[in-house]
Amino acid sequence: MVVKSELKLIKSLQQKKYRNEHGLFVIEGKKAVEELLNSNFKVFRIYLTKDVAPIMDDKNEVVIFPKEMDQISSLKNPNGVVGVFYIPKPDTVDFKDWIVVLDDIQDPGNMGTIIRLCDWFGIRHLVCSKNTVDCYNPKVLQATMGSIARVNIEYTELEHFLSSANGPVYGSFMSGDTVYEKELSREGILVMGNEGKGISDRVKALCTNTISIPRHGTSTTESLNVATATAILLNEVRRG
């Protein structure tokens, strides 16, 4: 049994304002919830419909009615598992490996894909401008497929962050130097810009290198999507 006010609270967490106010976020799906339970994330409560097998044997696991699930889920077809977790305090960024920096990424799908890519390529730290889409947005979490459990994400002033970095800062630009011809350092920062505007001038000024992925098609070809470009550049970083 859950009281109405609790359902209302969970529902409100679909909005960033209330996530920040309560320090909580919602993630849906058995696999994603299990991955977070096995990570450093702290659980607030898990909600299940009765057709789903219990996940934890714990008082924080609550069985609810399908009607209640419909109320708290952000999905058209809820999958029967909603986890509510505490938003963690980010770890201190470690400059001993590659770091990905996002300058105002707006699309939740792109953000989710980039988090998943960081996980795949073993990138531990993702540093985002304050205007980048919130990583605890339900659509972002849907696209991460649980990878959020393994990537440390911080929102900060990029100018301040990049000024404090020692290593090379590689900005991805349409007109940058061909990435194949660059000798990429063992550690560094990869900066990816906004979907429409690219990297802002203030962040560009702090990039020590520019890189690009050569186009083989004609000049009318639309630029690569930012998540796709991140995939290719992280592969370049890791292939050595």
Distances (CA, A) of 67 to 11, 77, 83, 190: 13, 12, 17, 45
Q: Which is nearer to a second copy, 10 or 138 (CB)?
A: 138
**Shortest spacing between CB 120 and a second copy, in angstroms:** 5
Tokens coding 238: 């890791």
Residue spans of beta strands (DSSP E) within 162-214: 169-178, 189-193, 209-212
71 binds a second copy per the rule CB under 8 A: no
Please choose, from the candidates 193, 192, 229, 195, the residue with its C-alpha nearest in 3D space to the C-alpha of residue 214: 229
**Shortest spacing between CB 45 and a second copy, in angstroms:** 23
Compute how many other C-beta atoms are within 10 angstroms of the C-beta atom of residue 218.
6
Q: Which is nearer to a second copy, 164 or 175 (CB)?
A: 175
**Shortest spacing between CB 88 and a second copy, in angstroms:** 18
Please, what is the end-to-end C-alpha distance for the chain in angstroms?
Answer: 55
* Binder among 75, 122, 174, 177 for a second copy (CB under 8 A): 122
**Shortest spacing between CB 82 and a second copy, in angstroms:** 20
* DSSP 8-state class, residue 194: B
Answer yes or no: are the C-beta atoms of 58 and 38 closer than 8 Å. no
* Binder among 147, 152, 172, 194 for a second copy (CB under 8 A): 147
Q: Which residues bind to a second copy, rule: CB under 8 A?
A: 35, 113, 116-117, 119-122, 145-147, 150, 180, 213-218, 220-222, 224-225, 227-228, 231-232, 235-236, 238-240
